[in-house]
């Protein structure tokens, strides 16, 4: 398998899987788990933002 073909297969698999996993994360209220730290918000303030 060439590197270009491997990358293409990975992108296709990632693109097909991400929306499904994101909907599950939204339903379980964990989607912003990765956003709040990047905004500089400590974990103890996350619950007040929902």
Q: Once rounded to an integer, what is the mean pLDDT over residues 2-13?
A: 92
Residue 33 has pLDDT above 60, yes or no: no
Q: Which of 23, 25, 21 has the alpha carbon at shortest distance from 13?
A: 21
Helix (H, G, I), strand (E, B) or coil at 2: coil
Q: How confident is the model at residue 49 (pLDDT cuts 50, 70, 90)?
A: low
pTM, to two decimals:
0.49
Question: Would you give the end-to-end CA distance of the chain in angstroms?
Answer: 46
Distance of CA 36 to the CA centre of its chain: 13
pLDDT for position 34: 60
In this structure, how many other beta carbons lie within 10 angstroms of the beta carbon of residue 50? 6
pLDDT for position 12: 94
pLDDT for position 13: 94
Distance of CA 31 to the CA centre of its chain: 7
């Amino acid at each position: 398998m060439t590197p270009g073909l491997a990358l293409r297969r990975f992108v296709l698999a990632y693109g097909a899987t991400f929306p499904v996993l994101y909907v599950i994360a939204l339903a379980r209220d964990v989607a912003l788990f990765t956003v709040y730290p990047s905004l500089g918000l400590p974990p103890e303030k996350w619950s007040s933002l929902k």
